[in-house]
Amino acid sequence: MLVVFGANGRTGREVVELAISRGMAVRPVVRDDRDISNLGALGDVQELCYADPEHLDPLRAVLSGATRVISCIDARTAGPGAPIYTGQASENIVRASSEAGAEAILHLSVMGAYRWSYAALNRKSFYLEGGVRNVNAPWSILRVSCCFDEVIEGHMAPPDGGRPWPLKESSRYSPVSRREAAQLALAYLDRIELGRARAVGGPVTYTGPELAAVVAPFSKPGKGRSVYKSLPPGDVSVARDTTRSAVGFVPERRLEDLLSRDDREGRQGPKTVYPVGDPPPHGADLGQQVKALSKAGPDLRRVLHRQLVLDLSRLGVEGASLDFSRAQAGLRWVKAHDGEVAELRGVRVLDASGGEVHRGSVDLLRDQLADEFRVWWVSDEGIPESVWCELDLGVRRRLAADPHFSADSRVLRFVEQNPG
């Protein structure tokens, strides 16, 4: 039994469809019932399961009988703050898969997944990979250079009508189609090297100017800043021989072939978790028009609700919605996700019947240099361990110089261990 996490994503769906076409027993796993739109056409999917990788226990049930696992969850977003998986999610998948007896666990990642990367996507991907490496299990990581739809949506014709982003002259890329990325994943699963990270890419390596010349005839001018991000800068290319040594073959489909047929993957292809445009409000959002959230805007509201709901498990609290009607803003305000929010007091957690199950204060941090925004429930713990573990060294150093966090226990230990 092959279990595929992130089965509704662009690569995940291709993995599921390709595996089914080969007669494999496949169990697609999606986060919740909003995540099934891309799987509707696959009428012969044997089993469809729901499980949020951020929580370990639900994963154990969906992994019953699993022999091989492919995790296609990633750090990308189909809308601001929706979804961004943490390193805990990838760690949970590997841990639960190992407990279920899976013989091979493959995590799909991206080239350039480094903590110090200039690209936020790569930094977040680094922490997803870290979650995989944290577990003593039969895991492996396959890093993909980049995909055709990322080039098209970021640098040719953003679906939101915004301006395409320029390509960096010093960058190098080896784009591959999503279908062939799925072929690479399944091929590598048959010859997997446990405990290692291997890299794969498409048939052609382009410099930034060369790739810009390929997409230029098809580019649209756009208006305003696009929310579809550019490819990470730098060299994220993969040599043909490297791909061949990893999986035994090199993909054939070139980006030029796709564009010349006007069959542009990612524009008419499968949708991501949320449709093009604004994703819906978070399920815990009561839609209140209150002073505490008056400057937040829809994107920041969504991120705020999501992070606070995830943090409730640390407190041992279960709630259905968040009530900000009695919340009071503190003096510290930060800008993030096209809005502003302050530290808050008196935020209530309500159960499904509207009863209060928790009331507390909310703290937050915003680091512009690392593009980090985090929010959590105030407790004696200070900055939660789950947040602290995902902050890179630069952010921790800047927190040590921030008077607001000068008495935080984790910051104090960090200063003691890193004097000067």
- Note whether 243 and 296 are same-domain residues: no
Q: Dig out the tokens for 289 from the structure.
A: 């028009």
Asked if 59 and 168 sit in the same domain, the reply is yes
Ranges assigned E (strand) in 91-236: 104-110, 139-144, 146-147, 172-173, 175-176, 197-200, 206-207
For 193, other C-beta atoms within 10 Å of its C-beta total 12
Of 240, 260, 280, the position where a domain reaches its end is 260
Q: What are phi and psi of 339, to 5 degrees?
A: -160, -175
Residues 19 and 154 occupy one common structural domain = yes
What sign for the dihedral angle of Cα 299, 92, 119, 110? negative
Same domain, 300 and 412: yes
The whole-number pLDDT of residue 88 equals 86
Residue 35 lies in a domain: yes
Write the CATH number for 169: 3.40.50.720
CA distance 119 to 231: 8
**Half-sphere exposure in the Cβ direction for 183 (13 Å, CA):** 15
* pLDDT of the residue at 117: 64
Q: Does some domain include residue 266?
A: no
* 246 and 346, same domain (yes or no): no
Residues of the chain with pLDDT under 50: 43-45, 78-82, 262-276
Q: What is the pLDDT of residue 123?
A: 78
| Burial classification of residue 107, based on how many CB atoms lie within 10 Å of its CB (0-12 exposed, 13-18 middle, 19 or more buried) | buried
Whether residue 412 is contained in a domain is answered as: yes
Same-domain status, 312 and 364? yes
- Residue 193 domain-assigned? yes
How many angstroms separate the Cα of 413 from the Cα of each of 13, 366, 402, 406, 409?
44, 21, 15, 11, 6
Pick the closest to residue 414 from 28, 402, 100 (CA basis).
Answer: 402
Q: Mutual orientation of helices 409-417 and 393-400 as an angle, nearest 10°?
A: 110
What's the CA gap between 67 and 83, in Å, rounded?
27
Q: Provide the pLDDT for residue 35.
A: 52
pTM: 0.69
- Report the interhelical angle of 10-21 vs 178-190 (nearest 10°): 60
Same domain, 66 and 208: yes
Residue 310 maps to a domain? yes
- Which domain covers residue 204, as residue numbers? 2-260
Same domain, 253 and 306: no
In-domain check, residue 302? yes
Residue 274 lies in a domain: no
Q: Which tokens hold the place of 89?
A: 């999610």
193 shares its domain with 325: no
For residues 250 and 345, membership in a common domain is answered with no
99 plus 147 within the same structural domain: yes
**246 and 345 inside one domain:** no
CA distance 289 to 292: 9
Q: How far apart are CA 109 and CA 73, in angstroms?
A: 9
| CA separation for the pair 154, 162 (Å, rounded) | 9
Domain boundary among 220, 239, 260: 260
Would you say residue 280 lies in a domain? no
User: Residue 45's closest CA among 66, 64, 87, 17?
Assistant: 17
Pairwise CA distance, residues 361 & 348, whole Å: 9
Per-residue confidence (pLDDT) for residue 198, from 0 to 100: 95
pLDDT given at position 137: 94
Number of domains the chain is built from: 2
**Of 342, 348, 380, 376, residue with least CA distance to 362:** 376
